[in-house]
């Protein structure tokens, strides 16, 4: 998140980030606004296009950040995660 923020990407600033077992919990500042899905059709097609171009520029910046190294094969990671969720559901 710090890397994304350093690129000038408009985003909620993190207040706290905590690691709890194998999960990450984060609390962010509030940003006023509405979800695009609820409001995009109220704008002209020209304005929608402008917002899309702006979003693309932001995404291009985000994609300049190198991906972190993956410690294990994604399939193994995913299957272990699913197995853990299934085990937790069977407890109930």
Q: Which domain holds residue 21?
A: 1-32
* Count of structural domains, the chain: 2
Task: Specify the pTM.
Answer: 0.59
Q: Which range has highest mean pLDDT (1-10, 14-23, 58-67)?
A: 58-67
DSSP letters of the chain? -HHHHHTT---PPEEEEEEETTEEEEEE-------HHHHGGGS-HHHHHHHHHHHHHHHHHHTTSPPPPPSS-HHHHHHHHHHHHHHHHHH-
User: In terms of domains, do 46 and 69 share one?
Assistant: yes
Q: Do residues 51 and 64 both lie within one domain? A: yes
Q: What is the pLDDT of residues 29-68, one digit of tens each?
A: 988 888 889 999 999 999 999 999 999 999 999 999 887 7
Shared domain for 46 and 75, answered yes or no, is yes
């Amino acid at each position: 998140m710090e890397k994304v923020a350093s690129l000038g990407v408009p985003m909620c600033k993190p207040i706290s980030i905590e690691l709890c077992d194998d999960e990450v919990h984060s609390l962010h500042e509030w940003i006023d606004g509405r979800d695009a899905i609820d409001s995009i059709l109220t704008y002209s097609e020209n304005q929608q296009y402008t917002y899309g171009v702006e979003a693309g520029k932001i995404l291009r910046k985000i994609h300049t950040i190198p991906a972190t190294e993956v410690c294990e094969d994604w399939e193994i990671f995913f299957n272990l995660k699913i197995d853990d969720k299934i085990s937790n559901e069977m407890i109930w």
